[in-house]
Amino acid sequence: MSALGRAGLLGSVRKRVSDFRPGHDAPTSPDDRLMADLRTALAPERVQFDSAGRSLHSKDASVFKGGVAGPTCFPITTAEVQAISRIAAEHGRAMVPRGAGTGLAGGAIPLGAPVVVALTKMNNILEVDVDNRIAWVEPGVINLDLTRHLTPLGYHFAPDPSSQQVCTIGGNVANNSGGPHCLAYGVTNAHVQAMEVVLPDGQVAMLGGLDPEPAGLDLRGVFVGSEGTLGICTKVAVRITRNRPAVKTLLLSFKTISDAANTVSGIIASGIVPAALEVMDQKITVAVENYVHAGYPRDAGAVLLAEVDGLAAGVAVDAAGIAAIGRANGALEIREAATEEERALLWKGRKTAFGAIAQIAPDYYLHDTVVPRSELANVLAKVYEIADRFDLLVMNVFHAGDGNLHPLLLFDARDEGVLDRVHAAGKEIVEASLDAGGVLSGEHGIGVEKQAYMGRMFSDNDLDHQDRLRKAFDPTCRANPGKVIPMGHSCADIQALRRVPTGVWG
């Protein structure tokens, strides 16, 4: 084939991809007809379009300003999600799935008045199948409710994001959520075996399977973490993990955050894979201690919360190993939680860290990047320097074991111009992480937050292929358009969002 032929081929690929895109003249219809159609498919009270609901559903838990929500539907069955999908398509509307709205990257923010599909009423634990070590759950089941349900059976759901008291399994699937204990057990993707999804064209498909090597491409793996852009998950088979008979939680305090970071690297290098390795700097430790009174030292430069679990004898060996590595790195104090109550209190401190800061400043922006463990100390030094330069208060509490940083910028949004400084500092933090060999996000996702940075991590070819993946599921850009892939790349095109009936933007 000649060079010209190749160009022709490329052109034809683009055409084939773009053929599926909705045109500018796609039919639209006023909201009342859309509402009427939706209310034939669902009980009328489960289709809402009041201003309070639209306002609530226009944003998530991030600092990003809201979008514009169309009608919000609260389906209770897969068939209803399917019906919503078909009606939305007939009306030329996109769909945005929504769980508890705890996302921090703007993934659930509706762009272009899509139909919001709130899955919170699909919240049944359908089956616990111990033979296959899975549980079938609906997407609206709350993460911690599932673990509570499994506890008497001797199992739990391993991903445990800090928001686990409110966040949903469907949201965990959409974001490929992590949490402190994914160091040893892996993030959500390692815990989803199969799922039923309603594809953007309204068809229902089962992705993955309960067998170890399901036939075909790993579409299940691709769907997890896709932020609602490949369809809507309506039923999930999550792996259930045996509870460990023994657990030890150690609190190590250090003079500097570098000492804590070096201890973390030393532990991993020694071949110990703890269940969790969490670091908090002094400012957040003081805030947490004031909030929960867990016995965290206020005078240490940093604390490391290390947890090992498994069988009693091996846990004792690993705990002793961690203590020795801590001592070698200048630990000021090493304390082992003596009781389950003490252990629970330490974890409560860690998991409510973001609530504890409310006493310091009314607003915060929680960042999420990952760096190689060996770069933790260097990148943290840069984070402090950046915050200092922008005259912002920063606290660090993070999943140190896998290099997942969570710099927390504190501010009062009423201060004039502060948001500009927050965003400028955030940009530099992201860039410092990438320059250190890191990645854009460890567990919050891209959403709208980090679209603009995707080009710093991926080439145009990379992004083009991500877009092809997306189009294979959603050829007409109906599923949560305007997310993940940066503007200018097809499904992110605002053109899909432009076709909004007059008056909806109001």
Partner 1 sequence: MIASGVAGRRITDEVAQFATLVGSDDPVAVEGNRTRWDAGGPATGSPRIVKAPAGVVQYQPDEMTVKVLAGTTVAELDRALAGEGQRTALPQRGGTVGGALAVGENHPHTLAVGALRTAVLKVTYVSADGKIVSGGGATVKNVSGFDIPRLIVGSLGTLGCIAEVILRTNPIPAVSRWFHTLADPFAIYNELLAPAAVFWDGSATWLLLEGHEVDVDHQASVAAGIGELTPVDGPPDEPGLHRWSLPPGELQATMTKLEGPALASIGVGTIWATEPQPERPLSPAVEAIHDRMKTFFDPDRRLNPGRHPGRR
Q: Which of residues 412-431 bind partner 1 (CB under 8 A)?
A: 431
Residue 124 in tokens: 């049944």
C-alpha 167 chain-centroid distance: 10
- Judged by CB under 8 A, the chain residues 169 through 198 that form the site for partner 1 are 175-176, 178, 182, 186-187, 189-190
Using the rule CB under 8 A, is 437 a contact of partner 1? yes
| Min separation Cβ 372 and partner 1, Å | 5
Using the rule CB under 8 A, is 219 a contact of partner 1? yes
Q: Using CB under 8 A, which of the segments 94-102, 219-227, 331-339, 421-429 binds partner 1? A: 219-227
**Of residues 168, 253, 265, 329, which one binds partner 1 by CB under 8 A?**
265
**Of residues 450, 478, 489, 499, which one binds partner 1 by CB under 8 A?**
450
Place of tokens 């897969």: 78
Q: x-or-dash pattern for partner 1, window 369-388, by CB under 8 A?
A: -xxxxx--------------
Task: Kindly tell me which of 18 and 359 has the beta carbon lying closer to partner 1.
Answer: 18
Task: Kindly tell me which of 85 and 282 has the beta carbon lying closer to partner 1.
Answer: 85
Place of tokens 């998991």: 351
**Of residues 51, 339, 461, 502, which one binds partner 1 by CB under 8 A?**
461
- How many CB atoms lie under 10 A from the CB of residue 224? 26
Task: Kindly tell me which of 418 and 439 has the beta carbon lying closer to partner 1.
Answer: 439
| Min separation Cβ 96 and partner 1, Å | 18
Using the rule CB under 8 A, is 484 a contact of partner 1? yes
- How many CB atoms lie under 10 A from the CB of residue 467? 18
182 membership: H or E segment, kind and range: helix 182-185
Task: Kindly tell me which of 1 and 338 has the beta carbon lying closer to partner 1.
Answer: 1
Using the rule CB under 8 A, is 203 a contact of partner 1? yes
- Judged by CB under 8 A, the chain residues 76 through 95 that form the site for partner 1 are none
| Min separation Cβ 398 and partner 1, Å | 11
| Min separation Cβ 24 and partner 1, Å | 23
**Of residues 67, 103, 274, 403, which one binds partner 1 by CB under 8 A?**
403
Task: Report residue 426: phi and psi, to 5°.
Answer: -60, -40
Task: Kindly tell me which of 98 and 399 has the beta carbon lying closer to partner 1.
Answer: 399
Using the rule CB under 8 A, is 222 a contact of partner 1? yes
36-39 CB contacts, 8 Å cutoff, 24+ apart: 37/87, 37/90, 37/91, 38/71, 38/73, 38/84, 38/87, 38/115
- Judged by CB under 8 A, the chain residues 224 through 243 that form the site for partner 1 are 224-226, 242
Q: Using CB under 8 A, which of the segments 29-37, 41-49, 124-132, 277-285 binds partner 1? A: 124-132
**Of residues 438, 481, 489, 493, which one binds partner 1 by CB under 8 A?**
438
- Judged by CB under 8 A, the chain residues 323 through 362 that form the site for partner 1 are none
- How many CB atoms lie under 10 A from the CB of residue 414? 8
**Of residues 291, 347, 390, 473, which one binds partner 1 by CB under 8 A?**
473
By CB atoms closer than 10 A (0-12, 13-18, 19+), residue 6 is exposed
DSSP for residue 197: E
| Min separation Cβ 181 and partner 1, Å | 12
| Min separation Cβ 258 and partner 1, Å | 16
The answer to whether 481 touches 94, Cβ cutoff 8 Å, is yes
Helix axes 282-292, 340-351, angle to 10 degrees: 120
The answer to whether 61 touches 166, Cβ cutoff 8 Å, is no
Distance in angstroms (rounded) separating the CA atoms of residues 208 and 291: 43
Ordered DSSP codes for 276-312? EEEEEEHHHHHHHHHHH-----SS-SEEEEEEEEESH
Using the rule CB under 8 A, is 213 a contact of partner 1? yes
The answer to whether 240 touches 134, Cβ cutoff 8 Å, is yes
3-state secondary structure 211-269: CCCCCCCCHHHHHCCCCCCCCEEEEEEEECEECCCEEEEEEEEECCHHHHHHHHHHHHH
By CB under 8 A, how many residues form the interface with partner 1? 101
**Of residues 199, 305, 383, 394, which one binds partner 1 by CB under 8 A?**
199
